[in-house]
């Protein structure tokens, strides 16, 4: 496998790396296993100190780290800086709240006493994607290191410098060898690694294919897995919505991270009576977005992460148009050098058209007009994915009622699907299973041990 930094705006190779040898990988897993035996005996306060130190270093080095993100996967520099801030916030959040989340939980019993005690389970493998190279790692590593587990991290092959930088942060913060380890290996080798008896659980964010492969091996070897596999989020606009605000958030929701976001607002579903107004304003805003160098702070849309990514997205649009979809705006790869795609709006989408079913990972919005609220709900649920979604209405109770009928792991009212440390993140259906962030994210890879104390007069 080729592990390289290829700058998306220029398509120039910046750096290349070799994979770890089998011997080096075996040693790394052994070090993580050895480190766990000591790390699990440390206090929450000691573990929290490590996370706080890493967060502090992230903020101290934010400018340098943000440039690495933009260099490797093309994120706008301002958004890269925001990602570093968010990642540091997640580390601090678990440092501040982890002990409380993991405190003994007393049970109310008819006889005797009992409580649940949380304890770590061992070495965990994380397989993480390129689109948020620091945030994705932080939301997996922070809670599990606080629990007392040790972490092996296989990062995406196109962000090796980001992967090394995170490893360096933990080392500089004083993490004992083996508590956090970066693995330079292929996806195939990562899947095979799941079968190693020393690995006790695996978390993957990525494609359905990768998730199915990893989950199959984990299931065969009776190991816990958590999967986040993408989405096709609906962005519902009801007739009583503030249209200008809905349009503003639709642009952010669809174009954030150059559209390469699992919870992007990919399907804009608008009730007929306000559809024309919404579409006109949405098209006008997209047509004025400045596409260019992601290091330039005036740029509003950068390149896709790679040549493969832009070729795949352009092909999805082409196949969709051939099947009957119409292009209202854009629709093509840009003629300039680099992995750039025009901001695009597709309409007239029906079942059987690729864009109706597939996740479009880039600056392409799918627009649907529907008769009423129920039609909007039905269309939102007509997807194999179930990650997030949004409902725009001035009637909050109505928004909650609609949200309750949408089959996803997350629904936001009057805001596109978003993420922050104190909100649980995860989906249903083919978007995967399990939760990250908030209190739920720290409970995935723990032993919830029952301790029951019998008394002399117990009837048992």
Residue 263 makes CB contacts below 8 A (sequence gap 6+) with 231, 233, 387, 388, 410, 416, 417, 418, 419
Annotated catalytic residue 455: no
Name the active-site residue from 262, 359, 373, 444.
262
Q: Are 447 and 40 in contact (CB under 8 A)?
A: no
Q: Are 417 and 254 in contact (CB under 8 A)?
A: no
Q: Are 323 and 360 in contact (CB under 8 A)?
A: no
- Cα angle 18, 182, 67 (rounded to 5 degrees) comes to 85
- How is the beta sheet containing 267-271 ordered, strand by strand? 326-329, 344-347, 364-370, 267-271, 234-237, 389-392, 412-413
Name the active-site residue from 83, 228, 359, 444.
228
**CA–CA separation, 47 and 39 (whole Å):** 8
Nearest-10 crossing angle of helices 77-101, 135-147: 20
- Alpha-carbon torsion 305, 339, 296, 246, what sign? negative
Annotated catalytic residue 228: yes
Give all strands (DSSP E) within 272-355, no chain letters.
Answer: 326-329, 344-347
Token pair 């008819």 is found at 110
Half-sphere exposure of 448 (CA within 13 A, CB side): 10
Q: How far is the first Cα of the chain from the last one, in angstroms, to the nearest whole number?
A: 60
**CA–CA separation, 373 and 302 (whole Å):** 35
Question: How far from chain centre, in Å, is Cα 311?
Answer: 22
- Alpha-carbon torsion 397, 403, 404, 410, what sign? negative
**In the structure encoding, which two tokens stand for residue 17, read together?**
């790396």
DSSP 258: G
Residues labelled catalytic: 228, 262
């Amino acid at each position: 496998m080729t592990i390289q930094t290829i700058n998306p705006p220029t398509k120039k190779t910046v750096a290349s790396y070799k994979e770890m040898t089998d011997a080096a990988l075996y040693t790394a897993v052994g070090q993580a296993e050895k480190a766990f035996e000591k790390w699990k005996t440390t206090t929450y306060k000691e573990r929290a100190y490590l996370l706080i130190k890493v967060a502090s270093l992230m903020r101290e080095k934010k400018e340098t780290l943000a440039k690495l993100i933009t260099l490797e996967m093309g994120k706008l520099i301002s958004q890269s800086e925001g990602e570093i801030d968010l990642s540091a916030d997640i580390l601090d959040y678990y440092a501040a709240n982890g002990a409380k989340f993991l405190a003994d939980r007393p049970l109310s019993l008819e006889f005797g006493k009992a409580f649940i005690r949380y304890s770590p389970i061992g070495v965990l493998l994380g397989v993480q994607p390129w689109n948020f190279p620091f945030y994705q790692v932080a939301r997996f590593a922070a809670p599990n290191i606080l629990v007392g587990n040790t972490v092996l991290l296989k990062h995406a092959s196109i962000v090796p410098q980001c992967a090394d930088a995170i490893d360096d942060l933990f080392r500089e913060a004083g993490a004992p060898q083996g508590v956090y380890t970066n693995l330079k290996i292929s996806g195939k080798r990562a899947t095979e690694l799941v079968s190693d008896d020393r690995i006790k659980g695996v978390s993957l964010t990525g494609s359905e294919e990768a998730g199915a492969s990893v989950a199959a091996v984990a299931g065969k070897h009776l190991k816990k897995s958590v999967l986040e596999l993408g989405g096709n989020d609906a962005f519902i606009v009801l007739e009583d919505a503030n249209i200008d605000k809905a349009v503003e958030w639709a642009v952010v929701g669809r174009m954030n991270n150059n559209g390469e976001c699992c919870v992007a607002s990919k399907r804009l579903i608008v009730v007929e009576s306000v559809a024309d107004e919404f579409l006109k304003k949405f098209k006008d805003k997209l047509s004025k977005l400045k596409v260019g160098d992601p290091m330039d702070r005036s740029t509003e849309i950068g390149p896709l992460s790679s040549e493969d990514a832009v070729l795949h997205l352009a092909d999805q649009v082409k196949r969709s148009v051939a099947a009957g979809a119409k292009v209202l705006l854009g629709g093509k790869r840009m003629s300039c050098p680099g992995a750039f795609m025009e901001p695009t709006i597709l309409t007239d989408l029906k079942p059987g058209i690729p864009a109706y079913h597939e996740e479009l990972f880039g600056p392409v919005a799918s627009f649907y007009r529907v008769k009423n609220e129920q039609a909007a709900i039905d269309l939102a649920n007509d997807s194999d994915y179930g990650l997030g979604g949004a409902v725009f209405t001035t009637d909050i109770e109505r928004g909650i009622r609609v949200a309750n009928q949408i089959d996803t792991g997350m629904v936001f009212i009057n805001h596109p699907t978003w993420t922050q440390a104190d909100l649980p993140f995860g989906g249903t259906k083919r978007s995967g299973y399990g939760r990250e962030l908030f209190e739920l994210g720290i409970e995935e890879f723990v032993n919830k041990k029952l301790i029951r104390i019998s008394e002399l007069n117990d009837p048992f």
